[in-house]
Chain A
Amino acid sequence: MTRLGHLLKQRETGIALALILVVVFTTAKNPAFLFSSDGWRDLLLTPSILMLVAVGQAIVIITRNVDLSVGSVVGLTAYLTGRVFIDLPGVPWPLVFVIGLVAGGLLGLINGALVAFAKVPALVITLGTLYIYRGINVMWTGSDRINSSDMPREFLALGTQSLLGIPYLTIIALVVLVIAGWYLRTQRAGREFYAIGSDPAAAHLYGLKVTQRVLTAFVVCGALAGLAGVLYAARYGTVNSQAGSGWELDAVGAAVIGGVAIFGGSGTVWGAAIGAYLLLTINRALPVIGVQDFWQRAVVGVLILGAIVLDRVLAVRQSRRLTEARDR
């Protein structure tokens, strides 16, 4: 198999092509989708926040876990961002990014500690923290709301402006994506995530530092969700207690569409990122091509089901091929 042939067979290439097709088709219907002042920007900008969450989620799923609390983390850190600006006037906005990362990381650490040490399935733990974090968020917010007037202009500008045609937030998200992708592919610890997800028992027997790695995965996932919360505040300016609600399922969906196996061990953050883009772009494209946007969730559902059916078909075929090769 030539390198090009190999590349073309990858899931990531497939959904990237799908994304391009969607954009082309929609733009044909309405050129403003792409070729307007906001069109290009929104195309790149809107999904980049979800992309961060999807990348973090992918890392956790690769270790054969899941983090359902990311939506609540995004909401909490988005509100935290606003509050920091209000309560600490004059705070330099880069520091707020750090605060968001650290806050998200801590929330992720709680998840990770419970999963790694108490050995309870991540599904259950993060279901619980989904409730807890959202409850804290609502309690803290009260009937309040963060408005754009509460945040400094340079910060908000970051949320809407571009550098050389690419929105700042997208650049941030892309940088994170590249680092994550690089780490998972080229670093020993990154490869261990895959090993742990592929066969946790073997990983223990091998002597891998499973607890440490799982903890790290959750911390990173939380930190990225925290960063996404900061970006959310910058992008939208208004934050209420429901920010980020439902994002956990979108993130899992994006990862699954992107080729990350739900039981871990395979898939890439690149796929999850493209999956996030595909998901949100389709949602935005629907009204343009005349489908009421009420059908968005249905489309997401079909995509997810399609992705996992495809995975299964390919896996069966591959397993058959490998076994036959062995028996020859």
Chain B
Amino acid sequence: MTQATASAPTRVYKDYARPLWRRLLLTREAAIIALLVIVYVVAALSVRNFAAPITITYLLLDVAAILFIALPMTLIIITGEIDLSVASIVGLSSVTLGTLHQAGLPIEAAGTVAILVGIVAGAINGFFITVVGLPSLAVTIGTLALFRGLAVGILGTTAVTDFTEFWTDLAKSKIPGTPVPTVMILFVVLAIVFAVLLHFTPFGRGIYAIGLSSEAARFSGVKVEQTKFILFVLSGAISALAGIYYTLRFGSARGDNATGLELSVIAAVLLGGVSIFGGRGNIAGVIAGVLLIGILGSALRLANVTSDVINIITGALLVASVVSTSVLAWIHRKRIGAGIKKGPPSPAQD
């Protein structure tokens, strides 16, 4: 190591160690997108009616709720937290919508209140996690039960089904001339907003920093608690929005709407390349993950495969995707040849 001298030759720094194509194509997200395309093509060729426009319509209508909720869930998981209460907020929002509408409120007003309810629910999560300092896994297991319980408690076993036709039709309608449902417009807008937020704003940089090292983030002026709180509120709001859509699409508000949906969302997000440890992932991969599961489900249903097999395949995909990441990491370590069992500290640390 030379001692410091007055002037040294100025260095030239490469922006990236690897060429663009390697950075773009050798990623998990690229793998999932590739898989998505392959599955779609195979399904279109081998399953009758799969390529028909109406299939696409129903596929998108079916996964729309998951698509919506996957957006804030991605950001939450990147920060290293998790929100298991999203499906219960969907149910709560559904019940709010139904009860208020039944009491005479127009859908617009009832919908607004439902979203407010979602915001409050998200704030409750945020409060316990960022102010009291409890682990999000435990808190959202509790609020999963609490919110679902409130939803079921309010409506009991009844369902509200008399919604204005205008709205239920709108929920199921398509963009004229295409098989794409109208609700996708809203989704695309939200997806763009979230993608920009995550990838192109200081707020998004903060999210990745929190996920990789929340302590270092804090020492760099990132408002860790505030960021997480905002994310949980967003999650509540979007879940409530998804709840409105869900209710109108099926024309029925029930306390047990969307039970178990959180698992589908999390499975899709993880499949889409987001690491459960936090700090890694992007929106494109997640959208591909949701669509992949949706396409598989749709194609298999059309091929007369029962829904249980679809569940098995979803589960197997999830397991395979995380195990493969682990295996790749293990291979990488073996190549370094440290000859040790567990992850070594960087040798440059000597």
Contact = CB atoms under 8 A, between A and B. Distances in A.
Give yes or no for direct A-B contact (beta carbon below 8 Å).
Answer: yes
Interface of A: 66, 114, 118-121, 123-125, 127-139, 204, 241, 249, 252-253, 256, 262-263, 292, 294-305, 308-309, 312
Interface in B298-339: 306-319, 322-323, 325-327, 330
Contact of B277 (A121, A299, A308): A121
B137 interface: yes
Contacts of A312: 132-134
A313 to B, nearest CB: 9
A134 B309 CA distance: 10
B45 interface: no
A216 B316 CA distance: 23
A316 to B, nearest CB: 8
Interface of B: 82, 128, 132-135, 137-139, 141-150, 152-153, 156-157, 255, 263, 266-267, 270, 276-277, 306-319, 322-323, 325-327, 330, 341-342
Nearest to A304: B142
Nearest to B329: A119
A4 B253 CA distance: 53
Contacts of A119: 326, 330
Contact of B342 (A120, A204, A298, A303): A204
Contacts, number: 153
Contacts of A120: 322-323, 325-326
Nearest to B148: A297
A61 to B, nearest CB: 10
The 5 closest A-B CB pairs, nearest first, are: A298-B149, A301-B146, A131-B315, A297-B149, A301-B145
B267 A297 contact: no
Nearest to B308: A138
Given A292-B156, A301-B143, A305-B143, A130 B263 contact: yes
Q: Is the interface of B mostly helix, strand, loop or mixed?
A: helix
A134 B307 CA distance: 11
B311 A131 contact: yes
A124 B276 contact: yes
Contacts of B128: 305, 309
A304 B140 CA distance: 10
Contact of A135 (B266, B311, B342): B311
A204 B134 contact: no
A256 B312 contact: no
12 contacts: A120-B323, A121-B276, A129-B319, A131-B318, A135-B313, A138-B306, A262-B138, A294-B149, A294-B157, A298-B153, A301-B145, A312-B134
B323 A127 contact: no
A308 B139 contact: yes
Nearest to B311: A135
A129 B306 contact: no
B306 A139 contact: yes
A218 B318 CA distance: 19
A299 B311 contact: no
Contacts of A137: 308
Contacts of A127: 263, 266-267, 315, 318
B74 to A, nearest CB: 15
Contacts of B314: 131
B311 A309 contact: no
A114 B321 CA distance: 12
A139 B309 contact: yes
